[in-house]
Amino acid sequence: MGIKKAFVTALFFLFTIASQAQIVEDTTTLQKVVNYADSALRIRNINPYFTLHVDSTLRYQFDINKDQSQYFWYIKNSPVGLKIDKDNGVLTFKAEKSYFLSGRLKYDYEYKVNIGIQNLNIPEEKIDTSFVLLFYSTEIIPSKIKPTVTNTLFIDEGDTISFKLQCDNGSFPIEEITYFSNYQAKSLTPVSKCNDDYTWFAPFDFVKDTDKEKQKLLDIYFVGTNKFSNRDTAIVHVYVRENINYPQRVKEFELLKKDVLDYIVQLKSSFRTVDRKLKRTKKTRTGFDLGSAATGLGGTIFSSMPNVDQKTVGKILPSVGVALVPVKEATAPNVSSDQNMASLIRNSIKRLEYLIADNTVVGDRDPDILLKTKKLKDELKQMQIQLIDMPIADEKLNSRELDEYFNNPKVNKKYKVKKVDK
């Protein structure tokens, strides 16, 4: 019995040892399987999207399938204030309002943040991933358009206004800008978004004669719209005052000056015609006067002769002299109107030449150009009316020859005022 009991006990002991060995072997096999499955480094609780309210706090613990003491965490291109503990992977952030007021953070903007973890001993064992962080606010800050000029401008016709359309972006930035006005005022540069320039040239015919105070009010409305179709409007009041169209006025003055110069040439030609006529008349009358005087003197001489025939001739000659007087008046009448006409034409020429010299336009923007143009135009019209009966010379006009004749000292001598001795 003792040997049998000892044998049974030995068998039971061997069975127990074999069973335990099998359990250990199975446990070891299971452990190997588990270790094989968790050998790749991974983050167990990665969150791809975080949404935070302003003035809220974020604290998030990233967990890995390894012992975190052997690894360190890092973060890239993170927004201001976002941090991660390199030892335990705790992500922290406090969305302070001052960040948004200063412009360092934006609402409704998706910040892509890159994070990673790396083994301290094996640099090749690491993970790089990312998540999106977005901030929102229940407080709506309106966006506004702010032109870089005051809301009231004063300009003259011919001037150009140009200013930039800046934007104070609030919760939702302005994405599109349109404009309209009470009068047509299309910008020379495109206007569609913030920081665009509005440029407008005020045409010279913008202010009409019927406008009061010779100025017109132009209202320009700039309307900014965000992605939710919320609008903000900025108004610029532009007072446009009437101004001189200098380029056009200079052209008109030059054309008027040319007309005056052409009229002066015409007057000089008429003056030469009248003056030559007066010269021929004077020679003819002088010839008759000398002939009449010679017959009178001859009659006196012949009357004193002893010969009867000579005395008879002496009696006849004075009658011939008397007969020459009506012939002279009929042939070359002394017309004072011609003399007056010549003097009037000459005075008109001198006056027009003086007016042109006295009303010369100075530069391209002479402020007195309207007055000078009006003075020349009025004088020209007045002289044309006054000299409406002036004889028109039918000849080819040569301004150089006419100037030489008009400025001839012999001609000038006849029309100078003679000094009378007391």
Percent of the chain with pLDDT over 90: 23
Token pair for 196: 């665009």
User: pLDDT band for position 335 (50/70/90)?
Assistant: low
- Whole-angstrom Cα distance, residue 224 to residue 218? 20
Contact 104, 80 (CB under 8 A): yes
Average pLDDT for 342-355: 85
Contact 202, 241 (CB under 8 A): no
Strands (E), 184-343: 197-201, 215-225, 231-241
User: pLDDT band for position 167 (50/70/90)?
Assistant: very high
**Contacts with 341 (C-beta within 8 Å, 6 or more apart), sequence order:** 274, 390, 391
Task: For residue range 51-73, list pLDDT tens digits in order.
Answer: 888 878 889 998 888 888 889 99
Q: Which of 12-21, 169-178, 365-374, 395-404 has the lowest mean pLDDT?
A: 12-21
- Whole-angstrom Cα distance, residue 45 to residue 63? 6
Task: For residue range 390-407, list pLDDT tens digits in order.
Answer: 766 666 677 787 888 778
Residue 2 has pLDDT above 60, yes or no: no
Task: For residue range 311-326, list pLDDT tens digits in order.
Answer: 565 555 555 555 545 6
Residue 44 has pLDDT above 60, yes or no: yes
**Contacts with 95 (C-beta within 8 Å, 6 or more apart), sequence order:** 52, 53, 54, 55, 56, 57, 58, 81, 105, 135
- Terminal CA-CA length for the chain: 196
- Whole-angstrom Cα distance, residue 53 to residue 137? 6
Residue 299 is predicted with a pLDDT of 56
Task: For residue range 88-112, list pLDDT tens digits in order.
Answer: 889 999 888 888 888 888 888 899 9
Q: What are phi and psi of 353, to 5 degrees?
A: -65, -40
Token pair for 178: 């349109």
Residue 417 is predicted with a pLDDT of 62
- Whole-angstrom Cα distance, residue 224 to residue 231? 5
Contact 219, 235 (CB under 8 A): yes
Residue 26 is predicted with a pLDDT of 44
- Whole-angstrom Cα distance, residue 196 to residue 191? 6
Which domains does the chain show, CATH number per domain? 49-136 (2.60.40.10), 144-243 (2.60.40.10), 247-414 (1.20.1270)
Residue 353 is predicted with a pLDDT of 87
- Per the document, the length of the chain is 422
Q: Which of 178-192, 272-286, 369-383 has the lowest mean pLDDT?
A: 272-286
Average pLDDT, the chain: 78
User: pLDDT band for position 224 (50/70/90)?
Assistant: very high
Burial of 306 from C-beta contacts in 10 A (0-12 / 13-18 / 19+): exposed
Token pair for 186: 């299309």
In angstroms, how far is CA 142 from the centroid of its own chain? 32
Residue 220 has pLDDT above 90, yes or no: yes
Q: Which contacts (CB < 8 Å, 24+ apart) does range 245-248 have?
A: 245/157, 245/158, 245/204, 245/205, 246/158, 246/364, 246/365, 246/366, 246/369, 247/364, 248/204
What 3-state class would DSSP assign to 308?
helix
Distances (CA, A) of 108 to 54, 105, 134, 403: 11, 10, 6, 86
74/55: higher pLDDT = 74
Residue 33 has pLDDT above 50, yes or no: no
- Whole-angstrom Cα distance, residue 331 to residue 284? 8
Task: For residue range 243-300, list pLDDT tens digits in order.
Answer: 887 888 888 889 998 988 888 888 888 888 777 776 665 555 565 455 555 565 555 6
Contact 392, 271 (CB under 8 A): no
- Whole-angstrom Cα distance, residue 230 to residue 217? 28
Residue 30 is predicted with a pLDDT of 42
Average pLDDT for 417-421: 58
Residue 411 is predicted with a pLDDT of 74
Single out the residue of 222, 197, 224, 198 nearest to residue 142, CA to CA: 224
